[in-house]
Amino acid sequence: MKITPEVKEFLQTHLVFLATVDSRGRPHMVPKATLAIVNENQVVFVDLRATQTRRNVLNNHHVAIVAIDPVDYRGYELRGKASVVDRGPQFKKIFSSIPVLSQYPKLRDIILVRINSVKPIKD
């Protein structure tokens, strides 16, 4: 399943959590307020702290993204493979194509996620 317009709108209007796994298999989940949609198969995050999440993605590319409406307990879970994209042609292309990224002029890298599945969460 791809990122449909409905899913895109939901992701852009709700707090999103990114789950990764460290080198010992321990889960790490953090809220991310910097999600941007690249296309129907890709999203990016600005990793402002660039610590545990970045290390985990470099070690294990499998991630999950969850956005939920806590009032009616509906949302989406997206799974995919992440990569750290640092300054270079791909970084410049993504950076210039997503206006919100210009808010972070000192950005040194982004986390790009290629989405493999999108599943609705329903109560």
Q: How far out from the chain centre does Cα 23 lie?
A: 20
The reported pLDDT for the residue numbered 106 is 78
pTM for the model: 0.90
CB 94 within 8 A of CB 61: no
Q: Can you give the CATH number for the domain in which 25 is found? A: 2.30.110.10
Q: How many domains does the chain have?
A: 1
Digits of tens for pLDDT over the chain (123 positions)?
799 999 999 999 999 999 999 999 999 999 988 888 999 999 998 877 668 899 999 999 999 999 999 999 999 999 999 999 987 888 888 888 888 778 877 787 889 999 999 999 987
Phi, psi of 85 (to 5 degrees): -110, 115
CB 120 within 8 A of CB 98: no
Which domain does 87 fall in, by range?
5-121
What percent of the chain is helix, strand and coil (3-state, nearest 5)?
A: 25, 45, 30
